[in-house]
Amino acid sequence: MFENNNIGFHLSSNGISMPLVINPKKTALLVLDLQNAVVNRPMVPNDPKDVVRNAANLADAFRRAGSVVVMVNLSYDQPFKPIADVETKDLNSQEGWDKLVDGLNVKESDIKITKSGWSAFAGTGLDRILKSRDIDTLVLCGISTNIGVETTARDAYDLRYNQIFVVDAMAAKSVEEHEHTIKYIFGRTGLVRNTEDIIFALK
């Protein structure tokens, strides 16, 4: 796994800061749940439009580098609504709710994964797809930080993937939820970076 910290560089064993290095042949970008019903909701601390723009820029950079781009959406016919979640509303109440937003500029070469729960790995075959391409490192972005991204990250950690989290390409319902996940989950399971860091590392 990576040496762990939350700054723009990682530390070597002698304490000297080293630039982030990404091997494009072993790394995949996972863009999570940037679809109509999700992006159209109020989110913080990053505006969903900015999240989509950063995710699209990341995807373009990954394609130029010859890396794998995975676009993930959530869809189901009969949503599961936990009894304790009294605020849950039907996501699929609007036509096209589960379609990835146009601003992502999804390409034919991208891998498309449709999930029915929070994790992109649960019941989708994503792990098999990634392993068949010799991918060992994931760069994650999307909405919500503390739900779809975090749940996917927990599964990825147990599946022994290295992870990089692009925090300016994420958002959540509250700043507290966003920052808690970054500090207590992402900070313990991978590297925390921003869009500029990732694109620079791919050049």
Q: Give the pLDDT of residue 76.
A: 81
Nearest C-alpha neighbor of 170 from the set 150, 190, 197, 151: 150
Integer Cα distance of 91 and 25 in angstroms: 36
Contact 32, 140 (CB under 8 A): yes
**pLDDT, tens digit, 9 for 90 and up, residues 7-35:** 333 433 444 445 799 999 999 999 999 99
Query: Would the pTM of this model clear 0.75, i.e. be above it?
Result: yes
Contact 120, 154 (CB under 8 A): no
Higher pLDDT, 78 or 128: 128
Q: Give the pLDDT of residue 15.
A: 42
**pLDDT, tens digit, 9 for 90 and up, residues 36-76:** 999 999 999 999 999 999 999 999 999 999 999 999 999 98
Contact 1, 162 (CB under 8 A): yes
Q: Which domains does the chain have, with CATH numbers?
A: 25-76+96-202 (3.40.50.850)
Mean pLDDT, rounded, for 171-175? 97
Q: Give the pLDDT of residue 13.
A: 40
Element of type H or E holding 164: strand 162-171
Contact 145, 182 (CB under 8 A): yes
**pLDDT, tens digit, 9 for 90 and up, residues 96-117:** 999 999 999 999 999 999 999 9
